[in-house]
Chains A and B, each alone.
Chain A
Amino acid sequence: MTSNLLILYEAPALGLQLAIDGILIGAVFALAAYGMALVWGVTNIINVAQGEFVMLGGLISILGAEHGLPLWLTVPLAAAALYALGWLLFYTVIVHLLGRDMFNSVLATFGIAIVMQQVMAHVFGAADRIAASSLGSWFFLDNFVVISKMKVVVFAACIGLGLTLAWFLSRSRKGQAIRAVAQKPEAASILGIETRKVYCLTYSLNAAICGAAGALAATAYTIQPYGGLSYTVRSFMIVVVAGLGNLGGVIWAALGLGVAENFAGFILGTQYQIAFVFGLLVAVLVFRNWRLRRQRKHLE
């Protein structure tokens, strides 16, 4: 461990590389987590099929790329396909979960995840895939810091999507309806908002976001029908760390976790990378609990 710290001290450029890579991978997780936070906040449903949406988006974009479609086309294609799937799933499964105990939603979406895994494996095959990207990289400091252009595109697209979503939620009529329903569904429906339609829009939008994230991720990371779980777990963690209802915080939490994870992997060894992230999660929860308790005391 000390020797690893020494390496970082002697070659600070490596620290820069780790931070940049952390931010770039964090951006992909940020999108998936953003969608999860949206659905969770609005419909009170924890969508455990989040990772499978990401994988399906990736597989669709790889399939598109294999048929000669450029990236700027495969990403919207994946998003559109996933939007349609989200709509379908909403009216077949999710609609029956509205207003029920959260445990039901976890079970049902877990079922969706399993069905999706099997169908994807059946249709696309179970092989690990990666879309060939030919954009190359930028090199700095004698090749010590390398920034893959593709990952920068992914990052920019994630930030762009995130900002568009934030704008959509705060400014557009539909976005305002989503927020109104999230705050108080009964009051929103009295005011003429069709809550069910809003729920459907939210869920489909989430699927589309995940689809886009998957299509972007496929250019830099391996995609496999059964590889969705790590995205689901990561999204869940990011949402918990950011705090429910804090959509802006989701982006920061995702990027921050990406960076922290990379440094932990470098300094402690990759075998402790995931353990570190989960340790962090526990620490955040304990801290929150402690703070909440203090507030409660204050109120008494």
Chain B
Amino acid sequence: MRGFVASLSFVLLACGADIAVGADDAANDDVITLGAAVSLTGKYALNGANTKNGYDLAVQQINNKGGVKIGGKSYVFEVRYYDDESTPARGTELVERLIQQDGVKYILGPYSSGLTKAILPIIERYKVPMVEANGAARELFTKGYRYIFAVLSTSDQYLTPAINLAVQNAEKLGKKPSELTVAIATENDPFAQDVRAGVLADLQRFGMNCSIDDQLPPELNDMTVTLAKMKALQPDVLVVSGHEKGALTAVTQIEALRVNVPVVALTHCDSAQLAKKLKKASQHVFCAQQWHRSLGHKGALFGSAADFAKRFEAAYGYEAPYQAAQSAAAVYVFADAFSRAESLDSEAVRDAISATNLKTFYGPIKFDQTGKNIAKPMVLTQIIDGEYVVVAPKKWATAEPVIPRPKY
């Protein structure tokens, strides 16, 4: 027992020492420390790494370009990371630790809507501005929180372009939109449920029918039940949202069970590397994306979208998913806000972020009262021969969408 107490006190001491170092770092004059609790392990580890890579690349780029100037003095960025293990409780603890013990005054968001939702009350309590890039559910912006800013489009908009395309196609064939039926299969988490709500709102707008509305468990591995139902009801559109697992499972099982559905629209295709890993099975699937390298967005920090994609690939050895691009954009928003605020005061920085009006490689960024980016539209790509081809909105489309998917 004595040994146990001794080792416990040693551990506590070690933690204490660590905390002291943290406080020193944050107070360093020429460095601005941003704090981030991201998922480096656990079920979001893949996108946690994408998020971190995006943050790191932007920090590196900003520092290489001389950092940010505040009152004639140059500051470089540094990010203090913790691993939230993909669990909300841990995320909350760590953000509190970042703010209280490490003295961090500016926060970068975690990955996923669920984790962002969990840490919001802490952000608000300590009045620390947070720019986040991977929490898309609308419920993050309806509670009247003042310190959250999101560079990405909200999840209800993810699949609207796909529904619009299906409607346009129906009209072309002389059918009324209200004759179309839609099947929805979404994971039971805040993000996917908001995607579902967005699709349901679209259906109402066009008077379309929802014939299947299945919610899948977080550990979803099998969709055969939903797909069996689809064989009987034969909907015109299938919408699936369940992170990477959902996209992989849907595409594999649609092919295996030969489910014929004219339009299949998914989320998280590119982070699941669907086009590369399942080239044949994913042919003609529509993918909702926040960003794509072929878009014509440009900004001062990285240049064009394609330039960012090249830089990212050179640095990390894989193609930049949109999760990484938007994470880099979040750091860019901080840099821009600091230089306009001309201050390190968190309230002044918060106000400067709120007034952001920025053109970036990721798209235009401008926040509304609630903190969400209202300037950047979603894009819809279609997988054609193992490539993501932008098909909507019209302005950026590089090809005509293929509807219907050829029958098996």
Q: Which residues of A contact B (CB under 8 A)?
A: 4, 7, 10-11, 14, 17-18, 21, 25, 117-118, 121, 125-130, 132, 137, 139, 143-144, 146, 148, 220-222, 224-227, 229-230, 262, 265-266, 269-271, 273-274
CB pair A265 B221 closer than 8 Å: no
For residue B278, CB closer than 8 A to chain A, the reply is yes
- A266 to B213, alpha carbons, bound, how many Å? 11
List of A residues within 8 angstroms of B49 by Cβ:
126
Partner of B224, one of A21, A130, A137, A227: A21
Stretch of B142-150, B225-233, B287-295, B352-360 lying at the A interface? B225-233
Docked-complex contact A128 and B248, CB < 8 angstroms: yes
Q: Which of A21, A137, A227, A262 has the most CB of B within 10 A?
A: A21
Structural contact, A126 and B46, CB atoms closer than 8 A = yes
Shortest distance between the CB of B225 and any CB in chain A (Å)? 4
Given A4-B229, A220-B252, A221-B249; 10 other pairs, CB 8 A cutoff: A18-B224, A121-B41, A127-B273, A130-B277, A146-B256, A148-B256, A148-B257, A222-B245, A226-B45, A270-B226
Please list the 6 inter-chain residue pairs (A to B) with the smallest Cβ-Cβ separation, ordered nearest first.
A126-B45, A271-B215, A265-B225, A270-B214, A230-B219, A126-B46
Contact with A along B237-272 (1 / 0, CB 8 A): 000000011001100100011100000000000001
Q: Say whether B207 faces chain A, with CB atoms less than 8 Å apart.
A: no
Mask of B31-71 contacts with A, CB within 8 angstroms, 1/0: 00000000001110110110000000000000000000000
* Contact, CB under 8 Å: A121 / B214: no
Flag whether B121 is at the interface (Cβ < 8 A): no
| B233 close to A7 (CB less than 8 A) | yes
Taking CB atoms, residues of chain B closer than 8 Å to A128 are 46, 244-245, 248, 272
Return chain A residues, CB-CB under 8 Å to B229: 4, 7, 14, 266
* Interface pair B221/A222, CB less than 8 Å apart: yes
Contact, CB under 8 Å: A7 / B215: no
Q: Given the complex, which residues of A lie within 8 Å of B225, measured CB to CB?
A: 18, 21, 262, 265-266, 270, 273
In this assembly, does B383 line the interface, its C-beta being within 8 Å of a C-beta of chain A?
A: no
A266–chain B nearest beta-carbon distance, Å: 5
Are B258 and A7 in contact, CB atoms less than 8 angstroms apart? no
Q: Does B216 contact A (CB under 8 A)?
A: yes
Tell me if A227 and B219 are in contact (CB < 8 A).
Answer: yes
User: B347 in the interface, Cβ–Cβ < 8 Å?
Assistant: no
Closest to B185 in A: A270
Q: How far is the CA of A270 from the CA of B233 in the complex (A)?
A: 16
Write the chain A residue with the least CB distance to B247: A128
Whether A137 contacts B258 by the Cβ 8 Å rule is yes
Which chain A residue lies CB-closest to B279?
A132
B388 to chain A minimum Cβ distance, whole angstroms, is: 17
Provide the residues of chain A in CB contact with B46, threshold 8 Å: 125-128
Q: List 26 A-B contacts (CB under 8 A).
A: A4-B229, A7-B233, A11-B232, A17-B228, A17-B231, A18-B224, A18-B228, A21-B228, A121-B41, A121-B45, A125-B46, A129-B277, A143-B231, A143-B258, A220-B256, A221-B221, A224-B43, A225-B45, A226-B41, A227-B219, A227-B221, A262-B225, A266-B228, A270-B185, A270-B215, A270-B216
Residue of A nearest to B44 (CB): A126
B188 within 8 A of A: yes
Query: B217 within 8 Å of A by Cβ?
Result: yes
Residue of A nearest to B244 (CB): A128
Contacts of B342 in A (CB 8 A): none
**Within the complex, what minimum Cβ distance (angstroms) separates B320 from chain A?**
15
- Closest partner residue, chain B, to A22 (CB atom): B224
Q: Are A269 and B215 in contact (CB under 8 A)?
A: yes
Which chain A residues lie closer than 8 Å to B224 at the CB level? 17-18, 21, 262
A266→B232 CA distance, assembly (Å): 12
Closest CB in chain A relative to B383 CB, distance in Å? 16
Assembly CA distance A30 to B257 (angstroms): 23
Supposing A14-B228, A121-B41, A224-B43 touch, asked if A130 and B248 sit within 8 A by C-beta, the answer is yes
| List of B residues within 8 angstroms of A25 by Cβ | 222
Task: Give A224 to B46 CA distance when docked, in angstroms.
Answer: 10
Of A4, A143, A224, A270, which one neighbours B245 at CB under 8 angstroms? A224
- Residue of A whose beta carbon sits closest to that of B258: A143
Contacting residues, chain B, for A132 (C-beta < 8 A): 277-278
Closest-CB distance, B322 to chain A (whole angstroms): 16
B226 contact set on A, CB distance < 8 A: 270
Interface centre among B188, B222, B252 (most CB of A within 10 A): B222
Scoring B residues 86 to 107 as 1 if CB is less than 8 Å from chain A, else 0, what string do you get? Answer: 1000000000000000000000
* A152-B25 Cα distance, complex, nearest whole Å: 59
Q: Which residue of chain B is the closest to A118 with respect to CB atoms?
A: B41
When chains A and B are docked, how far (Å) is the Cα of A14 from the Cα of B49? 41
Contacts of A139 in B (CB 8 A): 258
Q: What is the chain A residue whose CB lies nearest that of B45?
A: A126
Bound-state Cα–Cα, A265 to B223, Å: 10
Q: Which of B48, B233, B249 contacts A222 (CB 8 A)?
A: B249
Q: Which of B13-45 contact A (CB under 8 A)?
A: 41-43, 45
Q: Which residues of A contact B214 (CB under 8 A)?
A: 269-271
A11, A129, A221, A222 — most chain B CB neighbours (10 Å): A222
Instruction: Determine whether the beta carbon of B221 is less than 8 Å from that of A230.
Output: yes
Closest to A134 in B: B280
User: Could you tell me the distance between the alpha carbons of A235 and B42 in the complex, rounded to whole angstroms?
Assistant: 21
Q: How far is the CA of A288 from the CA of B141 in the complex (A)?
A: 49
Instruction: Output the residue of A7, A137, A265 with the most chain B CB within 10 A.
Output: A265
Chain B positions within 8 Å of A14 at CB level: 228-229, 231-232
B271 and chain A: residue at smallest CB distance: A127
Chain B residues with CB below 8 A from A220, complex form? 252, 256
Pick the residue among A130, A221, A271 that contacts B188 (CB under 8 A).
A271
Min CB distance B20 to A, Å, is 28
Are A127 and B244 touching (Cβ within 8 A)? Answer: yes
Q: Which of B232, B244, B278 contacts A10 (CB 8 A)?
A: B232
Give complex CA distance A265, B248 in Å.
20
Q: How far is the CA of A148 from the CA of B231 in the complex (A)?
A: 16
> Within 8 Å CB of B256, what residues of A?
137, 146, 148, 220
Taking a contact as CB atoms under 8 Å apart, the answer to whether A221 and B232 are in contact is no
What's the least CB distance linking A97 to chain B, in Å? 19
